[in-house]
Structure 1
Amino acid sequence: MTTELRNTEFHIRARDGAGAEEHGPYELDIDPGRTADGDAAPRYASLRHASLRILRLPPGGSHTFATGDSEWIVLPLNGGCTVAVGGDSDTPFELSGRKDVFSGVTDFAYVPRDAEVRISSAAGGRFALTGARCSRRLPARHGPASGVPVELRGTGNCSRQVNNFGAAGVFACDKLIAVEVLTPGGNWSSYPPHKHDECRPGEESELEEIYYFEIAPAHGSAGLGYQRVTPSGASSRTGRGTDVLAEVRSGDAVLIPDGWHGPSIAAPGHTMYYLNVMAGPGEERAWLICDHPDHGWIRDTWPDQPVDPRLPLYEAPDADLRPSLNETVEAGPRPSLYEAPDADPRRSPNEAVEASPRPPLHDAPDARPEAHPEDPEGDAR
């Protein structure tokens, strides 16, 4: 199969097959779904676990959907909204949202499987619904913007900013892992290329992934970027062999059921944003990755370079003093909803920068003893 044909399958262009006639209010609707036999629907047969919908609401608009067998996070891309879960007295959640993905961290709402959810917006806006098939039903919760760890990864032209709102070990979900990445124009992120397409306990997680892109306009141009995915040994054994070279623009998505992925390249002058949605079949919710053996050496060059001075684009706001709605999940031997990831004694690509008197991006809350161990290789995103 040619790369062009592979792109057709795995590169979902803005509004490609996602018009009002087919998906109602969704600009993008990436949900494997199930046939009567329990198999994935043909259009997204490559995905079994992860879902993404982009919902646009006009001023005063609302939308109701059933969560089915998936858990979801409602994440404002621009604008704010109210999220109500049927039969849940602790909702609705009022999400302040943000102007756009390039201007600030946002609050969000977690909604469980087997529920009916209503999203409404007085002023209108666009909202990402990030989903994962799951077995446990956790309580609906509000995630404050102040609790989102804002992190810088890489240095030099590999510098990027990561908003870890739904990372493993940060916010409690059953299967869903989701983060936002911002890459200044001209930089490479999701680099070195890495994979997480087979289960190797303690070394690699089996996670499929969706990348959703927005590109900041500049000088009257909408801008663009590039995404690469190449077959891995695991993907070759399954016969899938995902192979994508995609020119991505705002509203596009790239599906990554398997394979080495990266780099994600931002065109000079245009900041690239992407939302990562990950989920898999494993019992442990963890993001463990394997670097491509031909390119992993690039990490060794990072301590000798400064972080791109354009970063951070923004930081998390001051602490939200509203009462937490997360205590019911905290009661068991579960990771805390917001906790600082453990330090990685083996590798710190930003060590040279941290040694300077640069203040931290924000103060992370204390980690609990029962915290879920973070990915020791978590610098690639």
Structure 2
Amino acid sequence: MTATGPAGPAGNTEFHLSAGKAAAGPYAVDIDPARAGWGYSSLRVIELPPGGWHAFDTGDSEWIVLPLSGACSVATEGETFQLTGRPDVFSGVSDFAYVPRDAQVSIASRDGGRFALTGARCSRRLPARYGPASGVPVELRGAGNCSRQVNNFGAAGVFECDKLIAVEVITPGGNWSSYPAHKHDECRPGEESELEEIYYFEIAEAHGAPGLGYQRVSPSGHGRGTDVLAEVRSGDTVLIPDGWHGPSIAAPGHHMYYLNVMAGPDDNRAWLICDHPDQTWIRGTWPDQTTDPRLPLYTAPTTQGERAR
């Protein structure tokens, strides 16, 4: 089941976009507030051939350029940041570059690759900056078959942005993440943030076969009443304007990766969530379980281990 939005200003929004369905112009994925029917969050994925380059204007949004596979240079504001990148999302943490609103940006890749542009409409214009892979906190959440790895490269309190929050999650094959299901669709200071969210998926192949996973979003009584049960594969996206989201389920034998992009109207940039009341009890079982021994899949490199920019 893939739901669409109710009639109204955001009517007919598709919440599950299979690979290729969100493509536009030069982008393999191009989701902006107009397409999503909301106010802040954006995601683009650009695929560059060897020697390829791409230029864009940031407009009214701040952006983080994150290599999914390959290396690139990011030029803006008279500076050039050399991103070492990684072979793929299952093999290592990546460095990244932040670019401000109202700027011109050029991305170039000698050997080619795939690069995510995570964005958010914002008011403040912060300086362009390089984010080293060694500075990315790698967090293990949950326990047992709810174990997952979170790369907090653009998390609130980790890397300064005006509105944008972005993290990566890796769920080992057979495990559940985004569980217990949770929401962040109301502004309740100190308890819950109002954040629009995009999930972008990649699923690891195994024995030469592509993998799959499942994503659930259920109505919370707020917003559009988003209701999704989607089979997800590499390149798919799921839009979450509201609702309880989770679980994200990885098929046995296939690790699941998703990139989360979040932003919203709250003045305080924070990720504050509310668990689904029927599922929050699961957290109480984690102290008696061990973390999945397959995790972490990798850790952030030491400063000495990083190549010079």
* TM-score interval for Structure 1 and Structure 2 normalised by the shorter chain: over 0.9
1:44 correspondence with 2:39: no
The alignment partner of 2:290 has SS state of coil
**Structure richer in strand, relative to its length:** 2
TM-score (norm 1): 0.77
Identity across aligned pairs (percent)?
77
C-alpha displacement of 1:25: 2.0
TM-score in terms of structure 2 length = 0.95
- The one of 212, 222, 226 aligned to 2:210: 222
Distance 2:199 2:22 in 1: 17
The reply to whether residue 61 of structure 1 matches residue 59 of structure 2 is no
Q: Which whole-Å CA distance do the structure 2 matches of 1:53 and 1:294 have between them?
A: 35
User: Residues 17 and 165 from structure 1, CA distance in 2 versus in 1: closer, same or farther, beyond 3 angstroms?
Assistant: closer
- Residue 338 of structure 1 is matched in structure 2 by none
> 1:54 corresponds to which letter in structure 2?
V
Q: Could you give the per-residue CA deviations for residues 252-307 of structure 1, whole angstroms, max 9, x where no partner exists?
A: 00000000000000000000000000000010000000000000000000000000
- Tell me how far apart the structure 1 counterparts of residues 21 and 2 of structure 2 sit (CA, whole Å): 16
Task: Report the residue type matching 1:219 in the other structure.
Answer: H
Query: Which one of the candidate residues 272, 280, 296 is aligned to 2:256?
Result: 272
| One-letter amino acid matched to 1:318 | T
**Equivalent residue, structure 1, for 2:68:** 77
Equivalents in 2 of 1:255, 1:102: separation in Å?
23
Measure, in 2, the Cα distance between the counterparts of 1:67 and 1:92.
Answer: 16
Query: Aligned equivalents of 1:17 and 1:122: distance in 2?
Result: 26
* Match in the other structure for 2:292: 308
Q: Secondary structure at the match of 1:63?
A: strand
Gap change, CA 1:299 and 1:273, over 3 Å in 2: same
Query: What does 1:363-378 correspond to in 2, within 5 Å?
Result: none
Following superposition, the deviation at residue 220 of structure 1 comes to: 2.0
Following superposition of structure 1 onto structure 2, how do residues 1-381 of structure 1 map, counting pairs within 5 Å? 3-6=1-4, 9-18=14-23, 23-32=24-33, 41=34, 43-45=35-37, 47-85=38-76, 88-89=77-78, 91-235=79-223, 240-319=224-303
Report the Cα offset of residue 4 of structure 1: 3.8
Q: State the Cα distance separating 1:221 from its structure 2 match.
A: 1.2
Is the contact between residue 213 and residue 273 of structure 1 (CA under 8 Å) also seen in structure 2? yes
Could you say what secondary structure the match of 2:125 adopts?
coil
Distance in 2 between residues matched to 1:53 and 1:124, nearest whole Å: 17
Partners of 1:256 and 1:234 in 2: CA distance: 12
Whichever structure has more helix as a proportion of its residues is 1
Q: Using the alignment, how far apart are the partners of 1:251 and 1:180 within structure 2?
A: 14
Any conservation in 2 of the 1:150–1:161 contact (CA below 8 Å)? yes
Query: Secondary structure of the equivalent of 1:73?
Result: strand
Distance 1:298 1:117 in 2: 45
The Cα RMSD (Å) is: 1.6
2:110 maps to a residue whose letter is A
